[in-house]
Every structure is written in structure tokens, then in C-alpha cells.
Structure 1
Amino acid sequence: MTDRPLRILIATDTFAPDVNGAAKFTTRLAARLTARGHEVHVVASALGRGRHGTRVEEHEGQRFSVHRLRSLLYPGHEWLRFASPWRVWQNAASLLDALRPDVVHFQSHLVLGRAFSTEAKKRGIRVIGTNHLMFENLMDHSNIPRALHAPAVDFAWGDAATVFGRCDVVTTPTRRSADYLERKTGLTGVHAISCGLPGDEYTPNPERQHGRIVFVGRVTTEKRLDTLVRAVAQLPDDLDWHLDIVGGGDQIDELAALARDLHVADRVTLTGFVSDTELRERLRAAEVFAMPSTAELQSIATMEAMATGLPVVAADAMALPHLVRDGANGWLFRPDDATDMAEKLERVLRLSDEEYGAFQRHSLEIVAPHDIETTITAFERLYRGEDIRDPETRVELAD
């Protein structure tokens, strides 16, 4: 391919207005590609019964075509919808024949990625696949008996290997998650390309917000937020702390009950869903960001907090050690260990102003290479069939 504008089809099982990392990344990807002059078509699930069809939608200030397919609400889930599996193959074939894209980029292999990768390969269309999933995260929503979770996860990774095996290129957000995907599927050559962040949209607060702890993300089981609530309940009263859990999900009532049981309900606020503007304000109103999840392939929420200049206390698991340097911009704690998390939170809250300022600077330095425009350039080159070297995101701190 030359440097002409491309026609790009992005197939995704989750897209705006869904609130999760994969949906946020895919929305930004489509918008930024459109801003660069490419013709972008997103294929996603319809938001409800009778809401399927093709229309131009506006996201992140850009207008592009979104093809919403008939969908089903996943049993027991309040928002997760998947394209109707008995229609998706026909949908994929007809859309590919009508649009004739230069490249198909899927964001999940479960439904749309499975169909579009198969039909694209039949037509000789280049296929890029990005993995945002850890199947261990899905088990609590799967309705599969707990005793069968391990074999179900093994089967799921085997299935993923088949779908991703059709791709010309496979990517995932970090080197740790790429190594993980290769280990689970037997694939090789997986590229590590950050989801990226529009850093200019996040502004550090020059005034330290003493005692304010914040989490941003889905309020669901896999985020391990019970560990966070149990941790803050162990903090000394003299810290005058307050915890904001920002986001919606099916664990809000359970966490509110836990806070009451631990006699800290007056110090824990569960906001539910908030706008992007309020989310950024909540980050600016905090002193430290807390991430107890043990299954983050990157954690856009943690990067957003760092771009706001916050130190981070996070679980020592999966990709989080790529973002958190012990004693530099925060601390890692033993996964699911509320006492260790409390101790690390207390360390940050008791930093001197000089030490706290250094932690802020380090968070900004570490997140700086994750610029969204670097990410878009990397994907543009992959779409054109170029060989690339993965963008370097590891930085040496200045002090």
C-alpha cells in the first residue's frame, strides 16, 4: 500500500457508550484515524432491540460510520451485548463485499472478530487482531460452575489461538500482556502496542489533595475492590482519608454494605457512572490512585491517573508493574492482601511535600511515552503491511 488514505474496518464486541478499557481505546482509535483522513467503519453490537443499522456517529469530536448489528444482552449482565451469532457471518460477508476495506482490525475474537477474520481471509483482506481479554476476568460472569473455571479457561485460550492464528499481525497493549498471550496460545511475534493516552486532556492539580484516595473503573468482581475497601478501613484516623470509587457496575451495593460492616461508610463514596469531565475532576481532587485489580493487560485508568500527576498504589500483577515503580511513583502490594495495600497507601499519604512532588513528576515521566499519536502511527504502519519495531514505553527516570 502507498501513503494514500485507507479504508479501515474495525470490528469490536464493545464500543462507546460502553465503559471499559477496550471500548475507550477502540473509540479513540477510530476517531484519531478519522482525524488523519482515513475512511473508518466500526462494526459493533446494537445498543438494544430494534436499534441496529448503519449511521454516522460522532465520537471524540470525529464523525464516522458505525454499523450496529442486531444483538443479544448477555445473560445476567446489565450492559454487555453481543452481535447475534446466527447472523454475524452473513453480516460480515455482506459488509466486507460492500465496503471492500484495505484492512480489518478486530478488538475481540469472541464474536465479531471471529466472523470478520474468517470472511476477510477468504477475500484476501489484511487482518490485524488486538487482544484486550483475560478469560480469568470473564469467569465470574460466565454462569459456568466454579469447579469448571480452569478447564473452561484452557479451552477458551485454545479457541483464541485458532482465531488469532488467522491474523497477519497480532497485538496487545504491553510486553507483559504480549508474553502472556504467547504463553497461553502458542502464538509468536505478538506486538506490544500501548492503547495510548491523549495526555493533553489530563491536567495535574498543583495543590496536594491530602487524604483523598481514588479508584476509577468498572465496579465489578474482577477489579478486587473489596481488597481496597478492607485496606482503607485499616488506615489510621489521623490521616483523615476519604475513598472515592468512581464508576458503575454490579458490585456497588456489595461494596457499600462492606463499608458499613467495616464502619467506614462515611468515608467511602461510590459515585456510579460519571461523565468524562467529572472523571477527570475526581482524579484532580485526589492525592493517590489505587488499583487493586490483578488482571490488567494495561490499565488505561491507571495511565489516566498518572497523566494527572497522581502516585499509584497497585497490585503487583500482570501489566501494572510496567506503570508503577516501587518508591518512585508509588508502590506495588501483594495481590489480594488488604493489609499490605493499607501499608503502601499510608506510605504515600505520609510523604513529605518534596517527596510527593517527586512521585508526581515520575508518574508523568513514566506515562509520557504512551502518547496516543504514537499508537495511531504504529497501527497505520501495520495496516499498510510495514514491519515495525514496537514503540518503546520503558523510560529511565531523571531522578
Structure 2
Amino acid sequence: MKTTRVAIVIPEGLSGRGGIVRVTAYLTRHIQAHIPDIETHVYRSRYSDNALLKHLTAPFALAAFAVKCATGRIDVAHLNVAPRGSTLRKRLYQAVAKALGLRTVLHLHGSGYDQYYADLPAGRQAGVRAFFARADAVVALGDHWKRFMLTDLRLAPARVVEIPNGVPAALPIARAPNATPAIAFLGEVGHRKGVDVLIDALARLKAEGLAFTATIGGNGDLETARAQAARAGVMDRIVFLGWVDEAGADKVLRAADLLVLPSRAENQPVAILEAMARGLPVVATRIGGIPQQVLDGETGLLVEPDDAAQLAQALAALILSPERRAAYGQAGLRRFEAHFSVTACAERFAELYRSL
């Protein structure tokens, strides 16, 4: 049996934080345990997330990758791509991989890539299109991003492969609604994830006299978020956890009645899939790949970004109806099992790697 050896490149390797790290960990863990003809190695594209050091250390990370590839121990370079600096770095990785005879896969993750591309001058847009066109395969997480690749990046349909993110199935939960409904948020605390809009919505719910608690798990601008919550008078309803790892996220979701993610820009959030895997309903924004994850009125509720009143209304609808929460949660679990399991994701990637 021929073994296909794959180098997967992400910013800080598996020791980093965020959705790309989590989904890569899930993918490689499953492949290592269940798909013996695929061998994965995870490489970091920088050795620090410090604003200065991440640029200074990037050449050393690229050199380490090049040495590994030059020894003939890698067949496929799987490059995870996000906007701005990530795109520039991955162009270098792609050039090295191509020069050494490797096949390359570009895996588009970063939120707002369509807007990033649209804002570029024409010459740089052409450079981005050429970067994607040089790949042997380009992975889109869902319909929204596949359309972007075909229409804006002008890629040949045969070059684009749609593979949604996958997360592991959760252990069964004997879920009973909390006496006081518990809202969970998992993600970076800041503007992109809409935490300011969430705090505004929670203040509206409190003013309406609704009972709830909210747990916000994630690193980021916690100081600003706490200050806003204090001004809004909802610090007594919110717990800010800071960064939570995989086990911590599981604990938060198991204690929650629903997940909220009011982001302004997203690709295909892992937190939503983790919530669906645990039978939780989701309130999120109608952007990026989210509408393919959350079916409005069936597995959760979708709202427009930057609309605290609409977000509060959606949260109130689920806070006030345990029956609706349960129905949406079970429908979401069935949708997760059909479309977003790590088993299906890993098998699709294994098939792609073998085909190159």
C-alpha cells in the first residue's frame, strides 16, 4: 500500500489558537487513527504570534519546511490560506513546494477573503488569481466560497473541491434545560466576531426582564468588552473566561442551552459545528458559510450583522421556548451527522491527497 505523505502548514502549528488549529487537530488526529495510507506532518509558518517576531521568524519556518521537502519525505503540501500576510507567506511556500516537485493544495479558511480580494488593486488581484491557479487543488469550505473561487478567482471547476470543516461527534448528553437559560459564545473577543453587538443585545434582554446567563470564551480584547459590559449594566449576567482550549470549549457547550455567534465576517466557524455536534441550537449572522451550517428556522436563527435589536429578538425567542431550543438542537445534530463529521471530512481529504 502506497503511503502519501502530507505537510500541513498553519501559522503556529498545533500549539496555536483558533479555529484553523482546532479543525487541523481534529483532521490529523482522525487520519492518524483511521487512515493508514495517509501520513500527515504539521508545520508552522512562523515561530511567534508577536507582531514583530512573527515576521522575523517566518523565514526560519520556511527554511525548515524546505529542508523537509527537499529530503523527499513529503508528497503533498497542504497550505492553509487566509487574507493579507497569510496569502503572501503561502505564495512562498507554494513556490518552494512546486520547485521541489510537490503537489500543492490551497485550503481557504480566513474570513472576509472575498472582501480582501475586492479591495486589492487590479495588479494584486491578478497575482492572487495566479497563486490559486498554480495549485493542483483548491479547497472551499462551502457553496459561498466555491462560488467566489469560480467567479472572482476564475478557477477551473475541476480544480475546486468542496470539503466542509469536520469536528468529532460528542459523547451523548442527557440535556435538560437550565432553570436560567445559559447562552454560550466561543471565539475571539473583538470586532470581527461581533462581541460588542452581543453585549448590546444582552443589555436589551436584561432591560426586557428576561432571565439568562452568558459565558464568553475566547482570547482577544477582553478589557474593552468588560468595560462595555460594565457600562451596559450586564456584568452580573456575563462570565468572561478568556482563552478556552478544546476541553474547555466542550465544558462550556455542555453547560449551555444555545450558542450565539454574531460575527461580521466568517468562513465556516468551527464553534458552530461543535455546538451542533452537542445538540445545541445556534443564533448567528447571515454571512459567509454560516447559512450552509445553520438553517434558519430549522436548526437555529440567522440575523443580519450589526443589528443588536434583531439579535436580541432572536435570542429572546429561544430563551422563552425550551421546546424550540430542543427541536432546533436535535435538527442541528442530525445536520451535523449528515454533513460535518470529522470522519467525512478526513475521508474527503484522504481521497484528494491520493488523487494528486
Q: Shorter chain as normaliser: what TM range?
A: 0.7 to 0.9
Residue from 153, 160, 165 that aligns with 2:128: 160
Range 325-334 or range 166-175, more displaced: 325-334
Task: Answer yes or no: is the 8 Å Cα contact 1:298–1:320 preserved in 2.
Answer: yes
Q: Which residue of 2 aligns with 1:130?
A: 107
Q: How many residues align?
A: 345
Amino acid at match of 2:210: L
Deviations 1:156-202 (A, max 9, x none): 65443222221111002112122223344222322210120111x35
Deviations 1:289-314 (A, max 9, x none): 10101322111101111111111111
Task: Return the TM-score normalized by structure 2.
Answer: 0.88
Higher RCO structure, 1 or 2 (CA under 8 Å, sep 6+): 2
Residue from 336, 357, 361 that aligns with 2:326: 357
Residues in 2 aligned to 1:314 and 1:340: alpha-carbon distance in whole angstroms: 11
Task: Answer yes or no: is the 8 Å Cα contact 2:182–2:214 preserved in 1.
Answer: yes
Q: Could you say if the C-alpha distance between residues 155 and 282 of structure 1 is closer, same or farther in structure 2, counting changes exceeding 3 Å?
A: farther
State the shift of 1:208 in Å: 0.8
Task: Answer yes or no: is the 8 Å Cα contact 2:46–2:58 preserved in 1.
Answer: no
Q: Which residue of 2 aligns with 1:378?
A: 348
| 1:329 aligns to 2:299 (yes or no) | yes
Range 87-96 or range 368-377, more displaced: 87-96
Q: Could you say if the C-alpha distance between residues 45 and 258 of structure 1 is closer, same or farther in structure 2, counting changes exceeding 3 Å?
A: same
- Counterparts of 1:248-259 in structure 2, within 5 Å, are 248-249=219-220, 251-259=221-229
Range 87-96 or range 258-267, more displaced: 87-96
Residues in 2 aligned to 1:354 and 1:211: alpha-carbon distance in whole angstroms: 12
Gaps of 5+ in 1: 49-71, 140-148, 387-399
State the shift of 1:131 in Å: 0.8
Q: Which residue of 2 aligns with 1:62?
A: none
Q: Could you say if the C-alpha distance between residues 198 and 7 of structure 1 is closer, same or farther in structure 2, counting changes exceeding 3 Å?
A: same
Amino acid at match of 2:111: M
SS at match of 2:236: helix
| 1:40 aligns to 2:17 (yes or no) | no
- Counterparts of 1:211-250 in structure 2, within 5 Å, are 211-236=181-206, 237-249=208-220
Residues in 2 aligned to 1:331 and 1:203: alpha-carbon distance in whole angstroms: 24
Residue from 27, 30, 34 that aligns with 1:29: 27
Residues in 2 aligned to 1:203 and 1:248: alpha-carbon distance in whole angstroms: 28
Task: Return the TM-score normalized by structure 1.
Answer: 0.79
Q: Which residue of 2 aligns with 1:93?
A: 66
Task: Answer yes or no: is the 8 Å Cα contact 2:185–2:217 preserved in 1.
Answer: yes
Aligned alpha-carbon RMSD (Å): 2.6
Q: Could you say if the C-alpha distance between residues 135 and 361 of structure 1 is closer, same or farther in structure 2, counting changes exceeding 3 Å?
A: closer
Q: Which residue of 2 aligns with 1:73?
A: 50
Residues in 2 aligned to 1:74 and 1:157: alpha-carbon distance in whole angstroms: 25
Residue from 134, 140, 163 that aligns with 1:193: 163
Q: Which residue of 2 aligns with 1:104?
A: 77
SS at match of 1:110: helix
Q: Could you say if the C-alpha distance between residues 354 and 267 of structure 1 is closer, same or farther in structure 2, counting changes exceeding 3 Å?
A: closer
Residues in 1 aligned to 2:154 and 2:55: alpha-carbon distance in whole angstroms: 27
Range 152-161 or range 204-213, more displaced: 152-161
